[in-house]
A and B are shown apart, each in its own frame.
Chain A
Amino acid sequence: MAGWPGWVTLVAQGTLAASAFLYARNQPLILYGQDFVGLLRRLVLGPGALALVCLVLFGLGRLVAYQQPSQEPVVFAITHTLSLGLFIIFLAQVNYAWRALVYFKSASNLRRRWQLLELLLGTTLLLQLLPLPVPSVLVLPVLVLLGLFGVYLSGTQRWVAYLTHKQKWQVIGYQSAILAAMLLFLQYFRLTGTVATLLSPAPQHAFLLLTAFFAVFYSLMGLLVTFFNLPTAGVFEQRRAEIVSLQRLTQIIQRGQTAAEIYQTLLESAEQTVQADAAGLLLLPSAVPNDKPGHSTYFHGLDATRIAAVVAFVEAQTGDQEFVLNNLASQPGWPAELPYGSLVVLPLRGLQHHYGKLFLLKTEVPGFDDDDIGVLTTFTSQTVLSLENLQLVADSLSNQRTQEELRIAAQVQDSLIPKNLPTDDWFDISTHSLAAKEMGGDFYDFLLLPGRRLAVLIGDVSGKGVTAAFHMAQMKGIFHALMQENPLAKNEREQFPLPSRFMNQANTALAHCLEPSSFITSSLYIIDYEQGGFMFARAGHCPTLYYHAMREEVSYFVSAGLGLGILRRGGYERHINNQFYDYGPGDVMVLYTDGIVEARGTDGSEFGEERLKALLERCYYLEAHEIKAIIMADFNQFTAGCPVHDDQTMLVIKFKTAQPALNS
């Protein structure tokens, strides 16, 4: 039969071994997550079944040898070679299944050690092919060392800890099957190895021996570790259940679930984790979820009559503190007909809120130890955290909506503030306005009237924010409604209401809609260019600062005048009057609200009218926008670092000669 040289067989066998191992090495993921049982099952049903094929081949060979003894050597050579191939494939699959288990949650240095083992084993495969006479004195220690390396790696059985009790039994079964398959192969080769008719040269003894040794040893270790872990499996499972329950509690909020679901999860998790026989949750009225009104209690494992008795006892006997009773039978007040021996009550309490209490019942005495209480306390804290987070999320959503609405309202209000200032060659206007909140109560407006006249309105609604903004909008409406041309007017001067008349009418209009404690201060100026003068009424508003160019003097207009909305039942006209003033080119008018003069600096003092006056004295000769810039720069410096408490508005109007004489 030896028709070809021995090395051909050796190379063929070596190639088969190398390719089977390389194939197994490079096959894609064989361990899916933590499905160890699945991995072992596939190993038993796939490569493990090859052992049976080997058995069948052995049987066939015997059958043929019995019927046609002359053919026996050929048949034996075929079956033996096939069996050897199957064994190599089996070893390759088993070894790389073990690699997946060794790699499970392992550090990178362990992976490097495995790769070293692979390399060394590969070398033994090569050595066998080389025609070098290596003395067995050298080979033996190396083989022993490699074997020990395998033993060392067999100590890595982390995966066993992740098995549940049931899975451990399954693993023991599959591991036994793999060992049986291995024994079947080994037994076959042990029987046939001594047969004199063995035709093939010695196979890769060292390589196959070592891989078989590792496969068996790792399998055996795994089996033993699993077996001896069986008694503690329950503890591991309980700890894992605790972790999973905690994860469920924390994840609830991420999935956008409700308070009712959190309560339900707490009840179930707590009951399962400490293996209680019944559980209940009593909520305070304030903690009842909005989406489930009336759901103030949650129970599990209790019927209606027991619920009544247990709740009565819990409510009567326990306060707001943690409470453990491990001998209920001897507890006064405990309804003896109930089959429970231990009770634990835990409060659900956050920093600000008290949600209710959780109770659990067990038939055993004593039923709850410190570990159980610890776990339950973690559960209740996590529940409270989840509830508080839920509240925070809800609050922030509603806050966001409010903010959005406020933003829109602020935009609407901003559109009420004139953006296009009136322009003419006889005056120059610059404005500043800033609201303390999203919306403000300050307002100003301009209207160019026929006959080169300009109406200027400024005002301040008492209070700030939304209410003030509404009244500010009202005031603007009143201004535009009243400053209409009167077609029945006898002369030009009566075509538009005089400032005092305007204030009186505005006061009447506001009387019905302002709340009792609100009022509005305002000043209205009607400036007449052709007559070189203006008329104004001051309804309780801050006095206007004025620079008189002819007299080179800065002063405040002092005049009497009552704010709007203070006298609502008539008689207002006695408290308001018109003032007249002649102006000349170069005069400067500064109108403002109290948010400017009452703004406080870091030392708590007010910006004040004196400071404002002194500023105008220094910069009256500049253009309107420059005057405003200088005043605001000083103002901002004065109030730097202080919060804005009140709305701020300032208008600077500078009168000019109608035709600039520069180029004429």
Chain B
Amino acid sequence: MSATVRTLLAFALFAVALAIMPKIFPSGTALTMMSLMGVAIVFALSYNMLLGQTGLLSFGHAVYYGLAGFAAIHAMNWVVRNKIGVSLPFIPIVGAVAGLFFGIVFGSISTRRAGTVFAMISLGLGELVVAITLIMRGVFGGEEGISANRAKLEPFFGFKFGPQIEVYYLIAVWCFICVAAMYALTRTPFGRMCNAVRDNPERAEFVGYSTQRVRFIAFCLSALFAGVAGALGAITFELVNAQALSAQQSGLVLLMSYVGGVGHFFGPIIGAVLITLLQISLSDITKAWLLYFGLMFIFVVMFWPGGIAGFIDQHRPIVRSGRFGRLLPSYSALALPVAGIALGVIGIIELAHHQLVEAASEGSKMKLFGIATDSATVAPWLALVALLAVAGLVFRAIWPKAAEAFATANAAARGAAP
């Protein structure tokens, strides 16, 4: 099977998955969550055009998402007010144009420099825009933001996009278009030039390209797709406020891309789906969920720099040559200590959070993993620390074996492949 056929097949599968997901998870919550995942996928991929493909670390990518969201919401209100026959599926184009416009404006300043300085400028510009949105209340609606009613627009072939399922399909179609476009972009000479600018700017200059120009174009295109994501977000929530372009939103998209894996095109997709899922489900389960996000991020940066996609990619030759079975015993031996470490860390955080935050108002009695306990007593703390210590020691003892098994299988797989 040639690479082209495989790619086409992958995209066909992606389209089918997008189409049948609502049949598998038809509940309202699931539909909303999947809509948000679609938005997050476009946003994270647009971010990775910068970080993964061009090597530009931005701390202010939400600026384009948020500003385009505001543009989209104003466009929706304007269309409704003036009774113009534009229907909802075309609103993301407004977002794209707005994203591109602000990308050109801010990109012309920030892409003059690369590396650390670029990161700092993106942070500064982000703060600047946030401060301005709070000053210009007329345009950005202050703290409440601006709202719109998506069902009031001209129906599109009879669809009014009131129900969430119709919105889901709107997002799914736009998500597919954007993913395909962004993937196609990586296959063009321009996409390759971005990689060259990331890996070796000096050589890229010698080949005759202006690295500044390549960075600028990549930045503008990335802002364009972030704009589409922003408009889709505005359509889902029917509301945009300053939160959409805040530093938190920028941090969130960084988290998605990095946890998913910036080294691969599909990494941010995994990250976007996973983080959206965690964001919605985790915030119901624990009040310390932001802390878990931070710890997860640090963990990936320190020990797993390739992210999930990097992990999958490492094992691909082994699976292909049929040697994955040999890894299973050592990997399953690791599962128990890893689970022990995770339980220990989560338990200690939950105990500490309960004792420090909730104990004063609700008393120190609590439920941890479904077991009734008391965070003011020593016993649960001792038990969790002991669990953590034992699991940690076991992990340290068997980790070298697993690493060795991986190294042998990897060497054999790469040796076997011609």
Whether chain B is bound by chain A comes out as no
- Chain B interfacial positions (CB closer than 8 Å to A): none
- Chain A interfacial positions (CB closer than 8 Å to B): none
